[in-house]
Amino acid sequence: MEGSNRLDNLDGQRLDLIVIGGGVIGSGIASDAANRGLRVALFEKEDYACGTSSRSTRLIHGGLRYLEMFDFGLVRQDLKEREMLLRNAPHLVKPLPFMVPMYSKSLFYRLKMRVGMVLYDVLSYDKTLRNHRFYSKKQTLEMEPNLKEKGLQGSFIYYDAQVPYTERLVIENIISAEINGALCFNHVKVLKAVKEGNSVTGVLVRDELTGVEHKIKARLVVNVTGPWLDPVDEAMVEAPSHRVRKTKGIHFTATNVTTNAMVLFAESDNRLFFVIPWLGYAWVGTTDTDFKDELESVRADREDVEYLVASVKQVFPKADWDKIFFTNAGVRSLVMKETSQGVSESAVSRKHAIVDFEKKQGLKNYLSVVGGKLTAYRGIAEEATDAALKKLGLKCEGQTSSTKLPGAQFEGSFEQFILTMAEEGTTIGLSVAQVKYLSTLYGSRITEIFEIVRSNPAQAQALHSAYPDVRAQVKHAIEREQCLTLCDFMMRRCGLYFSKDQGQQAIEAASRDMALLLGWDEARRQSEIKAYLTEVGWTQEWKEKPAPRAESLAGIR
Protein backbone atom coordinates (compact mmCIF):
# COMPACT_ATOMS: atom_id res chain seq x y z
CA MET A 1 0.00 0.00 0.00
CA GLU A 2 0.97 3.60 -0.60
CA GLY A 3 2.08 5.34 2.56
CA SER A 4 4.92 6.70 4.65
CA ASN A 5 5.52 3.35 6.33
CA ARG A 6 6.38 1.35 3.20
CA LEU A 7 10.09 1.38 4.05
CA ASP A 8 9.79 0.93 7.81
CA ASN A 9 10.56 -2.78 7.58
CA LEU A 10 14.07 -1.90 6.42
CA ASP A 11 14.89 0.28 9.41
CA GLY A 12 17.60 -1.28 11.55
CA GLN A 13 18.36 -4.02 9.03
CA ARG A 14 21.69 -4.56 7.32
CA LEU A 15 21.05 -6.15 3.95
CA ASP A 16 23.47 -8.22 1.92
CA LEU A 17 22.60 -6.56 -1.39
CA ILE A 18 20.79 -3.48 -2.64
CA VAL A 19 19.77 -3.42 -6.31
CA ILE A 20 19.17 -0.01 -7.88
CA GLY A 21 16.85 -0.30 -10.89
CA GLY A 22 13.68 -2.29 -11.51
CA GLY A 23 14.10 -3.18 -15.16
CA VAL A 24 14.44 -6.70 -16.47
CA ILE A 25 18.10 -7.13 -15.42
CA GLY A 26 17.67 -5.50 -12.03
CA SER A 27 14.60 -7.62 -11.26
CA GLY A 28 16.52 -10.66 -12.50
CA ILE A 29 19.38 -9.96 -10.09
CA ALA A 30 16.97 -9.50 -7.17
CA SER A 31 15.30 -12.81 -8.04
CA ASP A 32 18.57 -14.71 -8.46
CA ALA A 33 20.21 -13.26 -5.35
CA ALA A 34 17.16 -13.86 -3.14
CA ASN A 35 16.91 -17.41 -4.51
CA ARG A 36 20.46 -18.00 -3.29
CA GLY A 37 19.59 -16.82 0.21
CA LEU A 38 20.89 -13.25 0.19
CA ARG A 39 18.98 -10.54 2.05
CA VAL A 40 18.02 -8.28 -0.85
CA ALA A 41 16.23 -4.99 -1.41
CA LEU A 42 15.48 -3.46 -4.80
CA PHE A 43 14.62 0.20 -5.42
CA GLU A 44 13.07 1.57 -8.62
CA LYS A 45 12.54 5.34 -8.87
CA GLU A 46 9.41 5.01 -11.02
CA ASP A 47 7.63 1.72 -11.71
CA TYR A 48 9.01 -1.68 -12.60
CA ALA A 49 9.77 -1.99 -16.34
CA CYS A 50 8.89 1.65 -16.98
CA GLY A 51 12.11 2.33 -18.90
CA THR A 52 13.93 0.42 -21.63
CA SER A 53 12.43 -2.93 -20.64
CA SER A 54 8.96 -1.85 -21.80
CA ARG A 55 10.16 -0.08 -24.95
CA SER A 56 12.00 -2.85 -26.77
CA THR A 57 11.13 -4.82 -29.91
CA ARG A 58 9.87 -7.53 -27.52
CA LEU A 59 11.97 -10.29 -29.03
CA ILE A 60 13.84 -13.15 -27.39
CA HIS A 61 16.43 -13.96 -30.01
CA GLY A 62 20.02 -14.88 -30.67
CA GLY A 63 20.59 -11.94 -32.96
CA LEU A 64 21.06 -13.30 -36.46
CA ARG A 65 22.73 -10.07 -37.57
CA TYR A 66 25.47 -10.45 -34.94
CA LEU A 67 26.82 -13.31 -37.03
CA GLU A 68 27.92 -10.68 -39.54
CA MET A 69 29.99 -9.14 -36.76
CA PHE A 70 31.49 -12.60 -36.05
CA ASP A 71 30.14 -12.33 -32.50
CA PHE A 72 29.50 -16.07 -32.27
CA GLY A 73 29.86 -16.19 -28.49
CA LEU A 74 27.12 -13.59 -27.99
CA VAL A 75 24.79 -15.39 -30.42
CA ARG A 76 25.36 -18.78 -28.79
CA GLN A 77 24.79 -17.43 -25.29
CA ASP A 78 21.59 -15.67 -26.32
CA LEU A 79 20.30 -18.80 -28.05
CA LYS A 80 20.83 -20.74 -24.81
CA GLU A 81 18.94 -18.06 -22.91
CA ARG A 82 16.13 -18.19 -25.46
CA GLU A 83 15.65 -21.89 -24.78
CA MET A 84 15.63 -21.35 -21.02
CA LEU A 85 12.94 -18.69 -21.32
CA LEU A 86 10.81 -20.83 -23.62
CA ARG A 87 11.00 -23.53 -20.95
CA ASN A 88 10.74 -21.40 -17.79
CA ALA A 89 8.18 -18.82 -18.95
CA PRO A 90 6.02 -20.47 -21.65
CA HIS A 91 3.05 -18.25 -20.79
CA LEU A 92 5.06 -15.14 -21.63
CA VAL A 93 7.61 -16.27 -24.24
CA LYS A 94 6.31 -17.73 -27.51
CA PRO A 95 8.04 -19.21 -30.58
CA LEU A 96 7.87 -16.90 -33.58
CA PRO A 97 8.78 -17.59 -37.24
CA PHE A 98 10.86 -14.93 -38.98
CA MET A 99 10.87 -14.50 -42.75
CA VAL A 100 13.76 -12.90 -44.63
CA PRO A 101 12.56 -12.10 -48.18
CA MET A 102 15.23 -11.97 -50.89
CA TYR A 103 14.91 -9.11 -53.38
CA SER A 104 17.23 -8.92 -56.39
CA LYS A 105 20.11 -10.38 -54.41
CA SER A 106 23.27 -11.76 -55.98
CA LEU A 107 24.04 -15.46 -55.88
CA PHE A 108 26.88 -14.71 -53.47
CA TYR A 109 24.53 -12.86 -51.08
CA ARG A 110 22.00 -15.67 -51.13
CA LEU A 111 24.73 -18.22 -50.45
CA LYS A 112 26.03 -16.07 -47.60
CA MET A 113 22.54 -15.90 -46.14
CA ARG A 114 22.15 -19.66 -46.39
CA VAL A 115 25.48 -20.18 -44.61
CA GLY A 116 24.33 -17.75 -41.90
CA MET A 117 21.09 -19.67 -41.45
CA VAL A 118 22.91 -22.99 -41.17
CA LEU A 119 25.33 -21.49 -38.66
CA TYR A 120 22.41 -20.09 -36.65
CA ASP A 121 20.89 -23.59 -36.52
CA VAL A 122 24.24 -25.10 -35.51
CA LEU A 123 24.77 -22.56 -32.72
CA SER A 124 21.32 -23.41 -31.35
CA TYR A 125 21.99 -27.17 -31.45
CA ASP A 126 20.06 -27.73 -28.19
CA LYS A 127 16.94 -25.89 -29.39
CA THR A 128 13.33 -26.99 -29.37
CA LEU A 129 12.48 -24.76 -32.35
CA ARG A 130 12.58 -25.80 -36.00
CA ASN A 131 15.54 -25.42 -38.33
CA HIS A 132 15.43 -22.80 -41.09
CA ARG A 133 13.91 -23.46 -44.53
CA PHE A 134 14.12 -21.78 -47.92
CA TYR A 135 10.91 -21.03 -49.83
CA SER A 136 10.45 -20.20 -53.51
CA LYS A 137 8.93 -16.94 -54.72
CA LYS A 138 5.57 -18.65 -55.26
CA GLN A 139 5.58 -20.22 -51.80
CA THR A 140 6.66 -16.93 -50.20
CA LEU A 141 3.79 -15.00 -51.77
CA GLU A 142 1.31 -17.69 -50.78
CA MET A 143 2.39 -17.22 -47.16
CA GLU A 144 2.70 -13.43 -47.33
CA PRO A 145 0.49 -12.10 -50.15
CA ASN A 146 1.02 -8.46 -49.12
CA LEU A 147 4.71 -8.57 -50.03
CA LYS A 148 5.97 -6.67 -53.07
CA GLU A 149 6.30 -9.16 -55.91
CA LYS A 150 8.76 -7.33 -58.17
CA GLY A 151 12.32 -8.56 -57.66
CA LEU A 152 11.32 -11.24 -55.10
CA GLN A 153 13.50 -14.34 -55.40
CA GLY A 154 12.19 -16.35 -52.47
CA SER A 155 12.70 -16.24 -48.72
CA PHE A 156 14.26 -17.90 -45.71
CA ILE A 157 12.27 -18.67 -42.58
CA TYR A 158 13.96 -19.26 -39.24
CA TYR A 159 12.64 -19.36 -35.69
CA ASP A 160 13.17 -17.23 -32.60
CA ALA A 161 10.75 -16.07 -29.91
CA GLN A 162 8.65 -13.15 -28.78
CA VAL A 163 7.61 -11.84 -25.37
CA PRO A 164 4.46 -9.77 -26.05
CA TYR A 165 4.34 -8.36 -22.52
CA THR A 166 7.88 -7.57 -21.38
CA GLU A 167 6.30 -5.69 -18.48
CA ARG A 168 4.89 -8.93 -17.15
CA LEU A 169 8.27 -10.64 -17.46
CA VAL A 170 9.73 -7.99 -15.15
CA ILE A 171 6.79 -8.20 -12.71
CA GLU A 172 7.19 -11.97 -12.46
CA ASN A 173 10.87 -11.61 -11.62
CA ILE A 174 9.92 -9.12 -8.89
CA ILE A 175 7.35 -11.60 -7.55
CA SER A 176 9.92 -14.39 -7.69
CA ALA A 177 12.34 -12.22 -5.70
CA GLU A 178 9.69 -11.48 -3.08
CA ILE A 179 8.73 -15.14 -2.78
CA ASN A 180 12.33 -15.77 -1.79
CA GLY A 181 12.38 -12.97 0.78
CA ALA A 182 13.51 -9.90 -1.18
CA LEU A 183 12.00 -6.51 -0.38
CA CYS A 184 11.20 -4.67 -3.62
CA PHE A 185 10.00 -1.09 -3.87
CA ASN A 186 8.80 0.91 -6.86
CA HIS A 187 8.52 4.72 -6.78
CA VAL A 188 11.52 4.89 -4.42
CA LYS A 189 14.55 6.81 -5.66
CA VAL A 190 18.13 6.20 -4.53
CA LEU A 191 19.56 9.65 -3.86
CA LYS A 192 23.16 8.88 -2.93
CA ALA A 193 25.48 6.42 -1.27
CA VAL A 194 26.02 6.20 2.45
CA LYS A 195 29.76 5.76 3.01
CA GLU A 196 32.31 5.06 5.67
CA GLY A 197 35.72 6.05 4.37
CA ASN A 198 36.21 4.39 0.99
CA SER A 199 33.39 1.87 1.49
CA VAL A 200 29.73 2.07 0.48
CA THR A 201 27.68 0.96 3.47
CA GLY A 202 24.20 1.69 2.16
CA VAL A 203 22.03 4.22 0.37
CA LEU A 204 19.79 7.18 1.10
CA VAL A 205 16.41 6.71 -0.58
CA ARG A 206 13.26 8.80 -0.98
CA ASP A 207 9.73 7.52 -1.40
CA GLU A 208 8.63 9.53 -4.44
CA LEU A 209 4.95 9.27 -3.47
CA THR A 210 5.33 10.59 0.07
CA GLY A 211 8.68 12.39 0.15
CA VAL A 212 9.84 10.33 3.15
CA GLU A 213 13.58 9.54 3.19
CA HIS A 214 15.34 6.55 4.73
CA LYS A 215 18.93 5.41 5.12
CA ILE A 216 19.24 1.73 4.23
CA LYS A 217 22.30 -0.28 5.23
CA ALA A 218 23.82 -2.97 3.00
CA ARG A 219 27.06 -4.85 2.50
CA LEU A 220 26.99 -4.33 -1.26
CA VAL A 221 25.16 -2.11 -3.77
CA VAL A 222 24.72 -2.77 -7.49
CA ASN A 223 23.56 -0.18 -10.03
CA VAL A 224 21.41 -1.66 -12.83
CA THR A 225 19.69 1.44 -14.16
CA GLY A 226 20.32 1.04 -17.90
CA PRO A 227 20.55 4.40 -19.66
CA TRP A 228 20.34 6.17 -16.27
CA LEU A 229 23.53 4.39 -15.12
CA ASP A 230 25.95 7.32 -15.52
CA PRO A 231 23.97 9.85 -13.44
CA VAL A 232 23.34 7.23 -10.75
CA ASP A 233 27.05 6.33 -10.68
CA GLU A 234 27.91 10.02 -10.42
CA ALA A 235 25.56 10.45 -7.46
CA MET A 236 26.94 7.34 -5.77
CA VAL A 237 30.64 7.83 -6.48
CA GLU A 238 30.66 11.64 -6.59
CA ALA A 239 32.77 11.62 -9.74
CA PRO A 240 32.01 11.94 -13.48
CA SER A 241 30.91 8.76 -15.26
CA HIS A 242 30.94 8.08 -19.02
CA ARG A 243 30.29 4.35 -19.35
CA VAL A 244 27.09 4.35 -21.38
CA ARG A 245 26.48 5.13 -25.03
CA LYS A 246 22.78 5.84 -25.38
CA THR A 247 20.85 5.18 -28.58
CA LYS A 248 17.17 5.74 -29.27
CA GLY A 249 14.85 3.22 -30.87
CA ILE A 250 11.21 3.73 -31.82
CA HIS A 251 8.34 1.51 -32.95
CA PHE A 252 4.83 2.12 -34.20
CA THR A 253 1.68 0.03 -34.45
CA ALA A 254 -0.43 -0.28 -37.59
CA THR A 255 -2.93 -2.74 -39.04
CA ASN A 256 -1.30 -6.15 -39.21
CA VAL A 257 -0.19 -7.29 -42.68
CA THR A 258 1.87 -10.43 -42.00
CA THR A 259 1.65 -13.95 -40.67
CA ASN A 260 5.38 -14.22 -39.98
CA ALA A 261 7.70 -11.68 -38.42
CA MET A 262 9.53 -9.98 -41.28
CA VAL A 263 13.24 -9.17 -41.27
CA LEU A 264 13.68 -6.26 -43.69
CA PHE A 265 16.33 -3.79 -44.78
CA ALA A 266 15.57 -0.14 -45.45
CA GLU A 267 16.32 0.84 -49.06
CA SER A 268 17.61 4.25 -47.96
CA ASP A 269 20.46 3.01 -45.75
CA ASN A 270 20.22 -0.82 -45.65
CA ARG A 271 19.45 -0.70 -41.92
CA LEU A 272 17.70 -3.78 -40.52
CA PHE A 273 14.19 -3.40 -39.11
CA PHE A 274 11.25 -5.68 -38.30
CA VAL A 275 7.55 -5.92 -39.05
CA ILE A 276 6.17 -8.21 -36.37
CA PRO A 277 2.68 -9.56 -35.64
CA TRP A 278 2.07 -8.30 -32.09
CA LEU A 279 -1.24 -8.26 -30.19
CA GLY A 280 -3.13 -8.01 -33.49
CA TYR A 281 -0.98 -5.17 -34.85
CA ALA A 282 1.96 -4.79 -37.16
CA TRP A 283 4.75 -3.77 -34.74
CA VAL A 284 7.25 -1.87 -36.90
CA GLY A 285 10.75 -0.91 -35.79
CA THR A 286 13.28 -0.17 -34.70
CA THR A 287 15.47 2.83 -35.38
CA ASP A 288 18.92 3.16 -33.82
CA THR A 289 20.22 6.71 -33.36
CA ASP A 290 22.51 8.30 -30.80
CA PHE A 291 20.57 10.05 -28.06
CA LYS A 292 22.00 12.86 -25.94
CA ASP A 293 18.88 14.62 -24.64
CA GLU A 294 17.18 14.22 -21.27
CA LEU A 295 16.05 10.61 -20.86
CA GLU A 296 12.57 11.61 -19.72
CA SER A 297 12.08 13.49 -23.03
CA VAL A 298 12.47 10.49 -25.32
CA ARG A 299 9.64 10.34 -27.88
CA ALA A 300 9.15 9.20 -31.43
CA ASP A 301 9.78 12.16 -33.75
CA ARG A 302 7.97 12.69 -37.03
CA GLU A 303 11.20 11.88 -38.89
CA ASP A 304 11.57 8.61 -36.98
CA VAL A 305 8.09 7.50 -37.99
CA GLU A 306 8.33 8.74 -41.58
CA TYR A 307 11.63 6.88 -42.01
CA LEU A 308 10.04 3.60 -40.91
CA VAL A 309 6.86 4.19 -42.91
CA ALA A 310 8.84 4.95 -46.08
CA SER A 311 10.96 1.85 -45.50
CA VAL A 312 8.07 -0.53 -44.90
CA LYS A 313 6.08 0.82 -47.87
CA GLN A 314 8.88 -0.33 -50.16
CA VAL A 315 8.19 -3.94 -49.15
CA PHE A 316 4.43 -3.80 -48.44
CA PRO A 317 3.19 -1.26 -51.02
CA LYS A 318 -0.41 -2.52 -50.98
CA ALA A 319 -0.87 -2.25 -47.22
CA ASP A 320 -2.41 0.71 -45.40
CA TRP A 321 0.27 2.58 -43.46
CA ASP A 322 -1.72 5.77 -43.05
CA LYS A 323 -3.34 4.75 -39.76
CA ILE A 324 -0.79 4.56 -36.94
CA PHE A 325 -2.40 3.71 -33.61
CA PHE A 326 0.47 4.69 -31.31
CA THR A 327 4.23 4.90 -31.12
CA ASN A 328 6.81 3.78 -28.60
CA ALA A 329 10.30 5.15 -27.93
CA GLY A 330 13.08 4.01 -25.64
CA VAL A 331 16.79 4.38 -25.02
CA ARG A 332 19.30 1.52 -25.15
CA SER A 333 22.37 1.55 -22.95
CA LEU A 334 25.46 0.28 -24.76
CA VAL A 335 28.90 -0.15 -23.30
CA MET A 336 30.92 2.97 -24.09
CA LYS A 337 34.39 2.10 -25.30
CA GLU A 338 37.00 4.14 -27.09
CA THR A 339 36.68 1.74 -30.01
CA SER A 340 32.95 2.57 -30.31
CA GLN A 341 33.62 6.24 -31.04
CA GLY A 342 32.85 6.93 -34.69
CA VAL A 343 31.17 3.53 -35.05
CA SER A 344 27.57 3.49 -36.28
CA GLU A 345 24.94 2.89 -33.62
CA SER A 346 23.84 -0.46 -35.02
CA ALA A 347 27.43 -1.73 -35.13
CA VAL A 348 28.13 -1.13 -31.44
CA SER A 349 28.38 -4.42 -29.54
CA ARG A 350 25.39 -5.46 -27.41
CA LYS A 351 27.69 -7.15 -24.90
CA HIS A 352 27.43 -6.03 -21.30
CA ALA A 353 30.06 -5.25 -18.66
CA ILE A 354 30.18 -5.50 -14.87
CA VAL A 355 32.21 -2.72 -13.25
CA ASP A 356 33.79 -3.21 -9.82
CA PHE A 357 34.51 0.26 -8.43
CA GLU A 358 37.02 -1.07 -5.95
CA LYS A 359 39.23 -2.01 -8.88
CA LYS A 360 38.42 1.09 -10.92
CA GLN A 361 38.29 3.86 -8.32
CA GLY A 362 39.11 2.32 -4.97
CA LEU A 363 35.51 2.47 -3.75
CA LYS A 364 34.52 -0.75 -2.01
CA ASN A 365 31.16 -2.52 -2.08
CA TYR A 366 29.78 -0.96 -5.26
CA LEU A 367 29.17 -2.58 -8.67
CA SER A 368 27.51 -1.42 -11.89
CA VAL A 369 26.05 -3.49 -14.73
CA VAL A 370 26.49 -1.70 -18.06
CA GLY A 371 24.50 -2.60 -21.17
CA GLY A 372 22.85 -5.92 -21.89
CA LYS A 373 20.00 -7.33 -24.00
CA LEU A 374 16.50 -8.36 -22.99
CA THR A 375 17.18 -11.89 -24.21
CA ALA A 376 20.26 -12.22 -22.03
CA TYR A 377 18.79 -10.76 -18.84
CA ARG A 378 18.77 -13.99 -16.84
CA GLY A 379 22.37 -14.85 -17.68
CA ILE A 380 23.55 -11.30 -16.95
CA ALA A 381 21.69 -11.39 -13.64
CA GLU A 382 23.37 -14.69 -12.79
CA GLU A 383 26.80 -13.28 -13.64
CA ALA A 384 26.16 -10.17 -11.54
CA THR A 385 24.95 -12.25 -8.61
CA ASP A 386 28.07 -14.43 -8.91
CA ALA A 387 30.16 -11.25 -8.73
CA ALA A 388 28.21 -10.05 -5.69
CA LEU A 389 28.67 -13.36 -3.88
CA LYS A 390 32.39 -13.26 -4.58
CA LYS A 391 32.61 -9.75 -3.13
CA LEU A 392 30.69 -10.93 -0.07
CA GLY A 393 32.91 -13.98 0.38
CA LEU A 394 30.04 -16.42 -0.18
CA LYS A 395 29.49 -19.41 -2.45
CA CYS A 396 26.16 -20.65 -3.78
CA GLU A 397 25.31 -21.86 -7.26
CA GLY A 398 22.52 -20.13 -9.14
CA GLN A 399 19.36 -22.05 -10.02
CA THR A 400 17.44 -19.67 -12.28
CA SER A 401 18.41 -21.58 -15.43
CA SER A 402 16.08 -24.36 -14.33
CA THR A 403 13.60 -22.43 -12.18
CA LYS A 404 10.21 -21.63 -13.68
CA LEU A 405 8.81 -18.17 -13.14
CA PRO A 406 5.81 -17.90 -10.76
CA GLY A 407 3.25 -17.87 -13.58
CA ALA A 408 4.70 -21.00 -15.21
CA GLN A 409 3.63 -23.41 -12.47
CA PHE A 410 1.58 -25.74 -14.64
CA GLU A 411 2.13 -29.12 -16.25
CA GLY A 412 1.89 -29.83 -19.94
CA SER A 413 1.50 -27.29 -22.71
CA PHE A 414 0.31 -23.75 -22.21
CA GLU A 415 -2.49 -24.38 -24.70
CA GLN A 416 -3.80 -27.26 -22.58
CA PHE A 417 -3.51 -25.11 -19.47
CA ILE A 418 -5.70 -22.43 -21.08
CA LEU A 419 -8.37 -25.01 -21.91
CA THR A 420 -8.39 -26.21 -18.31
CA MET A 421 -8.61 -22.65 -16.97
CA ALA A 422 -11.39 -21.80 -19.44
CA GLU A 423 -13.54 -24.57 -18.00
CA GLU A 424 -13.04 -23.17 -14.51
CA GLY A 425 -13.32 -19.51 -15.50
CA THR A 426 -16.66 -19.87 -17.25
CA THR A 427 -18.19 -21.21 -14.03
CA ILE A 428 -17.49 -17.90 -12.26
CA GLY A 429 -18.71 -15.54 -14.96
CA LEU A 430 -15.68 -15.08 -17.21
CA SER A 431 -15.78 -15.72 -20.94
CA VAL A 432 -13.37 -18.07 -22.73
CA ALA A 433 -11.80 -15.04 -24.46
CA GLN A 434 -11.25 -13.33 -21.12
CA VAL A 435 -9.64 -16.42 -19.62
CA LYS A 436 -7.31 -16.77 -22.59
CA TYR A 437 -6.30 -13.12 -22.28
CA LEU A 438 -5.81 -13.34 -18.51
CA SER A 439 -3.74 -16.49 -18.94
CA THR A 440 -1.32 -14.67 -21.24
CA LEU A 441 -0.85 -12.03 -18.54
CA TYR A 442 -0.70 -14.16 -15.40
CA GLY A 443 -0.08 -17.74 -16.46
CA SER A 444 -0.82 -20.07 -13.56
CA ARG A 445 -1.32 -17.02 -11.32
CA ILE A 446 -4.70 -16.57 -13.00
CA THR A 447 -6.02 -18.62 -10.09
CA GLU A 448 -5.41 -15.54 -7.91
CA ILE A 449 -7.83 -13.61 -10.15
CA PHE A 450 -10.32 -16.46 -9.83
CA GLU A 451 -10.06 -16.27 -6.01
CA ILE A 452 -10.93 -12.57 -6.05
CA VAL A 453 -13.94 -13.19 -8.30
CA ARG A 454 -15.18 -16.06 -6.15
CA SER A 455 -15.03 -13.89 -3.05
CA ASN A 456 -16.99 -11.13 -4.83
CA PRO A 457 -18.71 -11.97 -8.13
CA ALA A 458 -18.94 -8.26 -8.97
CA GLN A 459 -15.19 -8.37 -9.54
CA ALA A 460 -15.87 -10.31 -12.77
CA GLN A 461 -17.36 -7.18 -14.32
CA ALA A 462 -15.46 -5.79 -17.29
CA LEU A 463 -13.82 -2.41 -16.76
CA HIS A 464 -15.50 -1.56 -20.06
CA SER A 465 -17.23 -3.69 -22.65
CA ALA A 466 -14.56 -2.73 -25.21
CA TYR A 467 -11.86 -4.75 -23.40
CA PRO A 468 -11.44 -8.17 -21.80
CA ASP A 469 -10.03 -6.68 -18.56
CA VAL A 470 -12.06 -7.10 -15.38
CA ARG A 471 -12.27 -5.31 -12.03
CA ALA A 472 -10.50 -8.15 -10.21
CA GLN A 473 -7.31 -7.20 -12.04
CA VAL A 474 -7.26 -3.81 -10.31
CA LYS A 475 -7.61 -5.37 -6.88
CA HIS A 476 -5.00 -8.01 -7.75
CA ALA A 477 -2.55 -5.43 -9.07
CA ILE A 478 -2.75 -3.41 -5.86
CA GLU A 479 -2.73 -6.30 -3.40
CA ARG A 480 -0.30 -8.65 -5.17
CA GLU A 481 1.80 -6.58 -7.60
CA GLN A 482 2.58 -3.24 -5.90
CA CYS A 483 0.43 -1.16 -8.24
CA LEU A 484 0.43 2.38 -6.79
CA THR A 485 -0.63 4.65 -9.66
CA LEU A 486 -3.10 4.54 -12.52
CA CYS A 487 -0.16 4.48 -14.97
CA ASP A 488 1.24 1.45 -13.15
CA PHE A 489 -1.99 -0.41 -13.77
CA MET A 490 -2.89 0.70 -17.29
CA MET A 491 0.62 0.49 -18.72
CA ARG A 492 2.36 -2.34 -16.87
CA ARG A 493 -0.09 -4.60 -15.02
CA CYS A 494 -2.51 -5.31 -17.86
CA GLY A 495 -2.86 -4.85 -21.62
CA LEU A 496 -5.11 -1.79 -21.70
CA TYR A 497 -2.32 0.58 -22.76
CA PHE A 498 -1.87 -1.53 -25.90
CA SER A 499 -5.49 -1.42 -27.07
CA LYS A 500 -6.26 0.77 -30.09
CA ASP A 501 -7.49 3.67 -27.94
CA GLN A 502 -4.98 2.76 -25.21
CA GLY A 503 -7.68 1.87 -22.72
CA GLN A 504 -9.23 5.32 -22.47
CA GLN A 505 -12.74 3.94 -22.06
CA ALA A 506 -11.62 1.97 -18.97
CA ILE A 507 -9.97 4.90 -17.18
CA GLU A 508 -13.06 5.89 -15.20
CA ALA A 509 -13.80 2.42 -13.80
CA ALA A 510 -10.16 1.55 -13.12
CA SER A 511 -9.43 4.87 -11.39
CA ARG A 512 -12.55 4.63 -9.22
CA ASP A 513 -11.63 1.15 -8.02
CA MET A 514 -8.05 2.27 -7.36
CA ALA A 515 -9.28 5.32 -5.46
CA LEU A 516 -11.42 3.10 -3.24
CA LEU A 517 -8.62 0.64 -2.55
CA LEU A 518 -5.82 3.20 -2.10
CA GLY A 519 -7.81 5.90 -0.32
CA TRP A 520 -7.49 8.60 -2.99
CA ASP A 521 -9.71 11.66 -2.84
CA GLU A 522 -11.29 13.02 -6.02
CA ALA A 523 -8.47 15.49 -6.64
CA ARG A 524 -5.91 12.69 -6.51
CA ARG A 525 -8.02 10.52 -8.82
CA GLN A 526 -8.25 13.29 -11.39
CA SER A 527 -4.50 13.86 -11.09
CA GLU A 528 -3.91 10.18 -11.83
CA ILE A 529 -6.16 10.33 -14.88
CA LYS A 530 -4.33 13.42 -16.14
CA ALA A 531 -0.96 11.70 -15.68
CA TYR A 532 -2.10 8.69 -17.70
CA LEU A 533 -3.57 10.80 -20.50
CA THR A 534 -0.26 12.65 -20.66
CA GLU A 535 1.51 9.31 -21.21
CA VAL A 536 -0.98 8.46 -23.95
CA GLY A 537 -0.42 11.86 -25.52
CA TRP A 538 3.30 11.25 -25.76
CA THR A 539 2.68 8.23 -28.00
CA GLN A 540 0.91 10.56 -30.44
CA GLU A 541 3.33 13.47 -30.12
CA TRP A 542 5.23 12.51 -33.28
CA LYS A 543 2.40 14.03 -35.34
CA GLU A 544 3.23 17.48 -33.98
CA LYS A 545 6.78 17.26 -32.67
CA PRO A 546 9.19 19.43 -34.70
CA ALA A 547 12.23 18.01 -36.43
CA PRO A 548 15.22 17.30 -34.18
CA ARG A 549 18.62 18.78 -34.93
CA ALA A 550 20.17 17.44 -38.12
CA GLU A 551 23.12 15.81 -36.34
CA SER A 552 20.79 13.64 -34.22
CA LEU A 553 19.35 12.17 -37.43
CA ALA A 554 22.75 10.97 -38.65
CA GLY A 555 21.88 7.39 -37.78
CA ILE A 556 18.56 7.49 -39.62
CA ARG A 557 19.60 8.88 -42.98
Query: Hey, what amino acid is at 511?
Result: S
CA 421/CA 436 separation, integer angstroms: 8
The confidence score (pLDDT) of residue 546 equals 58
What's the confidence (pLDDT) of residue 9? 84
* 22, 28, 98, 183, 448 from 482: Cα distances, Å: 12, 17, 36, 11, 15
- Are 415 and 401 in contact by the 8 Å Cβ rule? The answer is no
Per-residue pLDDT, averaged over 210-224, amounts to 96
Give residue 62's pLDDT band: very low, low, confident or very high (50, 70, 90). Answer: confident
Specify the range with the lowest mean pLDDT, choosing from 8-17, 231-240, 334-343. 334-343
Q: Is the pLDDT of residue 550 over 50?
A: no
Q: What is the pLDDT of residue 551?
A: 38
Give pLDDT, residue 230: 96
State the pTM of this model: 0.94
Mean per-residue pLDDT, 273-290? 96
Say what percent of the chain tops pLDDT 70: 95
Convert 15-42 to b/e letters by CB count within 10 Å (16 or more is b): bbbbbbbbbbbbbbbbbbbbbbebbbbb
Rounded mean pLDDT, 250-278? 96
Q: What is the mean pLDDT of residues 130-157?
A: 97
Mean pLDDT of 187-204: 97
Q: Using a CB cutoff of 8 Å and minimum separation of 24, what contacts does 115-124 make?
A: 116/64, 116/67, 116/68, 117/156, 117/158, 119/67, 120/62, 120/64, 120/67, 120/75, 120/79, 120/158, 121/158, 123/62, 123/72, 123/75, 123/76, 123/79, 124/62, 124/76, 124/79, 124/82, 124/83
Distance CA 316, CA 319 (A): 6
- Of the candidate ranges 130-134, 217-221, 433-437, 546-550, the one whose mean pLDDT is the lowest: 546-550
Render pLDDT for 398-435 as a digit per residue (tens, 0 to 9): 999 999 999 999 999 999 999 999 999 999 999 999 99
Please tell me the predicted confidence (pLDDT) of residue 63: 81
Peptide bond before residue 255 is cis, with ω within 30 degrees of 0: no
Residues whose CB falls within 8 Å of the CB of residue 461, separated by 6 or more in sequence, listed in order: 470, 471
Distances (CA, A) of 398 to 305, 381, 428: 42, 10, 40
Tell me how far apart the alpha carbons of residues 189 and 210 are, in angstroms, rounded to a whole number.
Answer: 11
Cβ(69)–Cβ(218) under 8 Å?
no
Domains assigned to the chain = 8-52+167-242+349-402 (3.50.50.60), 71-162+245-347 (3.30.9.10), 411-520 (1.10.8.870)
Residues forming beta bridges with residue 329, ordered by sequence position: 250
Predicted local distance difference test score (pLDDT) of residue 204: 97
**Mean pLDDT of the region 285-301:** 93
Integer Cα distance of 221 and 242 in angstroms: 19
For the stretch 438-454, what's the b/e string if a residue is b when 16 or more beta carbons lie within 10 angstroms of its beta carbon? bbbbbbbbbebbbebbe
Of 137-141, 421-425, 510-514, 552-556, the one with minimum mean pLDDT is 552-556
Q: With pLDDT > 90 as the criterion, what percentage of the chain qualifies?
A: 88
Statement: residue 69 has pLDDT above 90: no
- pLDDT tens per residue across span 329-360: 999 999 987 434 444 455 445 689 999 999 98
pLDDT band at residue 127 under the 50/70/90 scheme: confident
Say yes or no to pLDDT of 125 above 90: no
Residue 138 three-state SS:
helix
Distances (CA, A) of 223 to 173, 187, 267, 316, 455: 17, 16, 40, 43, 42
In the structure, what pLDDT confidence band is assigned to residue 547 with cuts at 50, 70 and 90? low
DSSP 195: E
